[in-house]
A and B are shown apart, each in its own frame.
Chain A
Amino acid sequence: MRRQRTGDRLIHTNAQRAASGRYSAARLFLEGLLGHRGWSRAWHKASLRPRYQVVIVGAGGQGLATAYYLATEFGICDVAVIEKGPIGLGNVGRNTTIIRSNYFRPENVRFYDYSLQLWEGLERTLNFNAMVSQRGTLNLFHTESQRDLFTRRANGMRLLSVDALALDRNEVKTLVPLVDLDNGRYPVLGGFLQPRGGTARHDAVAWGYARAASAAGVDIIEHCEVTGIRREGHVVRGVETTRGFVAADRVCLAVAGHSSQLAAMAGFRLPIETHVLQAFVSEPVKPVLNVVLTYGAGHFYVSQSDKGGLVFGGGIDGYNSYGQRGTLPMAEDVAAAGLTLMPGLARLRVLRQWGGVMDMSMDGSPIISRTPLEGLVINCGWCYGGFKAIPAGGMTTAHLIARGEPHPLAAHLDLERFEAGRTLDERGLGPFPYAH
Chain B
Amino acid sequence: MLRIECPWCGVRDEIEFRYRGDASLSRPESNASLAEFCAQTYVRENRRGWHLEWWLHVGGCRKLLKVLRHTDTHEIRAVGHAQDALALPMEPVPP
Contact = CB atoms under 8 A, between A and B. Distances in A.
Interface of A: 258, 260-261, 269-274, 318-323, 327-329, 362, 418-419, 431-433
B46 A272 contact: yes
**Interface SS majority for chain A:** mixed
29 contacts: A258-B48, A260-B45, A260-B48, A269-B44, A269-B45, A270-B46, A271-B42, A272-B44, A272-B46, A273-B44, A273-B46, A274-B71, A320-B51, A320-B53, A320-B71, A321-B72, A322-B48, A322-B72, A323-B72, A327-B74, A329-B14, A329-B15, A362-B41, A362-B44, A418-B43, A419-B34, A431-B41, A431-B42, A433-B21
Interface of B: 1-2, 13-15, 19, 21-22, 34-35, 38-39, 41-48, 51, 53, 69, 71-74
Given A321-B74, A419-B34, A329 B42 contact: no
A109 to B, nearest CB: 24
A319 B67 CA distance: 12
B71 A322 contact: yes
Contacts of A261: 48
Contacts of A327: 1-2, 14, 74
Contacts of B15: 329
Contacts of B22: 273, 320
A178 to B, nearest CB: 28
Contacts of A418: 38, 41-43
A359 B73 CA distance: 18
Nearest to B40: A431
Given A319-B53, A327-B1, A273 B21 contact: yes
A328 B71 CA distance: 17
Contacts of A328: 1
Contact of A270 (B13, B14, B43): B43
A418 B34 CA distance: 11
A364 to B, nearest CB: 12
Most chain A beta-carbon contacts within 10 A, residue among B1, B13, B46, B47: B46
A327 B4 CA distance: 14
Contacts of A270: 43-44, 46
A362 B19 CA distance: 15
B46 A323 contact: no
B72 A260 contact: no
A419 B42 CA distance: 9
Given A261-B48, A327-B2, A328-B1, A319 B19 contact: yes
A272 B43 CA distance: 7
B49 to A, nearest CB: 9
Nearest to B39: A269
A26 to B, nearest CB: 47
